[in-house]
Amino acid sequence: MKRIALIILIAILFSACQTGKKKELEKNTITVSILPQKYFVEQIAGTQFPINVMLPPGSSPDDYEPTAKQVQELNNSLFYFYVGHLGFEKSWMKKFNEAVKDVNYISCSNGIDLLRGDEHDHQHGEEEVHKHGTDPHIWMSPENVKTISRTIANALSRQYPDKAAEFEANLRTFISRIDMLDNSIRTELNDTTHNSFMIFHPALGYYARDYHLEQYSIEYEGKSPSTAHMKKMVDLARERNITTIFIQTQFETAKAEAIANEIGAEIVVVDPLAEDWLAEMYSLTKKMKTALGD
Ligand SMILES: [Zn+2]
């Protein structure tokens, strides 16, 4: 029902777009997919643009559906900086592209060395195929966030050439703060005892790659784990001396808790979708250092 209403709305917006040439001049909203991207845009442009965040706080990026108001906001947007491979983007970007045409759709995955991720795709017919998708969590890497911020700054500078110097200066300041963060992470994780960590939803693949860590995910191929996978994780946790299991509150926690009970591990909450990205990265690193044994 909700979906039908949205399709009708998209149709209305579509016809509105065709006649709304004048409206283009008033557009100044920037749409992003997740809260950390709002933070990135604000580092570069301050708060001069209204920002429409598609994924509301606390919801899961996989089963989310945009509200009518958000689609309206998208229609008022100059840009949509999307992440690139998030679950909900996969199902919605094509519809957005078709319904709201005069928006600059820019993928924040441009120029990033992408990791393969765990994904399970069912194909209709007799065959069931296992397909490896792309790990969407690009923003959990300081190095990647420099690239993302560059993408955003370039797009905004093209649109507002008179503000290009301001955006460029802000970008440089942000990049130097990211470099400080990166140095701090390297120092903090330099002399840890272990390098393996366990997490319910595998949001730290890029972080693990940057800092030479090994991520083990309880969630398996994007699904809640089977008993067999749970057992494998318990064995693996014992073998690798894992004493902490990271969880994110947007996802179910019961199975992570079951494994934690079984091996006597501590549950620690991290929040990759936090708006204050920089603070979250420092906080995550402190928790990681403790988990890996300092
Ligand atoms: Zn995720």
Q: Could you report the per-residue pLDDT of 132-147, keeping only the tens digit for each?
A: 689 999 999 999 999 9
Look over the chain and give the mean of its residue pLDDT values, rounded to a whole number.
88
Instruction: Report the pLDDT averaged over residues 157-173.
Output: 98
- The alpha carbon of 286 and the centre of ligand 1 are apart by a number of angstroms equal to 21
- The alpha carbon of 33 and the centre of ligand 1 are apart by a number of angstroms equal to 12
- Write out the E strands in 149-202: 196-199
- The alpha carbon of 202 and the centre of ligand 1 are apart by a number of angstroms equal to 7
- The alpha carbon of 147 and the centre of ligand 1 are apart by a number of angstroms equal to 20
Tokens of 161: 């050439």
The span from the CA of 271 to the CA of 217, in Å, is 16
The pLDDT value given to residue 4 = 57
Instruction: Report the pLDDT averaged over residues 155-167.
Output: 98
The pLDDT value given to residue 211 = 98
Q: What is the pLDDT of residues 224-238, one digit of tens each?
A: 899 999 999 999 999
Side chain identity, residue 239: E
**Burial letters for 169-191: b for 16+ Cβ neighbours within 10 Å, e otherwise?**
ebbeebbeebeebbeebeebbee
The pLDDT value given to residue 130 = 44
The pLDDT value given to residue 265 = 96
Q: What is the pTM of this model?
A: 0.89
pLDDT band at 11 (very low <50, low <70, confident <90, very high): low
CB 143 within 8 A of CB 182: yes
The pLDDT value given to residue 42 = 98
Q: What is the pLDDT of residues 21-41, one digit of tens each?
A: 445 557 899 999 999 999 999
**Distance (Å) of CA 268 to CA 82, 87, 102, 164, 284:** 29, 24, 43, 42, 10
The span from the CA of 84 to the CA of 207, in Å, is 17
- The alpha carbon of 17 and the centre of ligand 1 are apart by a number of angstroms equal to 33
- The alpha carbon of 41 and the centre of ligand 1 are apart by a number of angstroms equal to 21
The pLDDT value given to residue 5 = 56
- The alpha carbon of 86 and the centre of ligand 1 are apart by a number of angstroms equal to 7
Q: What percent of the chain has pLDDT over 90?
A: 73
Side chain identity, residue 118: D
Top-ranked range on mean pLDDT: pick from 88-97, 144-153, 252-261: 144-153
**Distance (Å) of CA 24 to CA 77, 135, 222:** 9, 35, 39
The span from the CA of 279 to the CA of 18, in Å, is 43
- The alpha carbon of 64 and the centre of ligand 1 are apart by a number of angstroms equal to 12
The pLDDT value given to residue 222 = 81
The pLDDT value given to residue 126 = 35
Write down all domains in the chain, each with its CATH number in brackets: 2-182 (3.40.50.1980), 191-292 (3.40.50.1980)
- The alpha carbon of 68 and the centre of ligand 1 are apart by a number of angstroms equal to 24
Which of 93-107, 124-138, 187-201 is predicted with the least confidence, judged by mean pLDDT?
124-138
The pLDDT value given to residue 226 = 93
The pLDDT value given to residue 48 = 95
Judge whether residue 75 has pLDDT over 50: yes
